[in-house]
Amino acid sequence: MATICHVCGKPLDETYSVSCMRCGREIHYPTEKSAADACCAVVTQLFVCGLAFICNSCSGPPPKSPNLGGL
C-alpha cells in the first residue's frame, strides 16, 4: 500500500521519504532538483547528531485564525 505524502498528497517513494520531526507524518525528502518546492525543510538539531526534517505544514507560519482577537 502506497504511502502518501502529507504535504503534497503524492505517493511517496520509500527511498525518498522522511518523517517530520514535529508531526511525524511522512513526507518527500528534499532532493536538490525539487528544493524550490520541497515538501519539507532540513533542520539541524544541535542536540542530536544528524539531520531532521520538518514538513511545510509545521515549518510555515501558523494559520491565521479568522476569530483571532474576537473572543
Chain residues that interact with Zn ion, rule: CB under 5 A? 5, 7-8, 20, 22-23, 28, 39, 55, 58
Residue placing its CB nearer to Zn ion in the complex, 32 or 67: 32
CB 60 within 8 A of CB 27: no
Angle at 63 between CA 68 and CA 14, to 5 degrees: 160
Residue placing its CB nearer to Zn ion in the complex, 18 or 28: 28
Shortest gap between Cβ of 68 and Zn ion (angstroms)?
Answer: 22
| Cell numbers standing for residue 28 | 518527500
Residue placing its CB nearer to Zn ion in the complex, 31 or 65: 31
CB 4 within 8 A of CB 12: yes
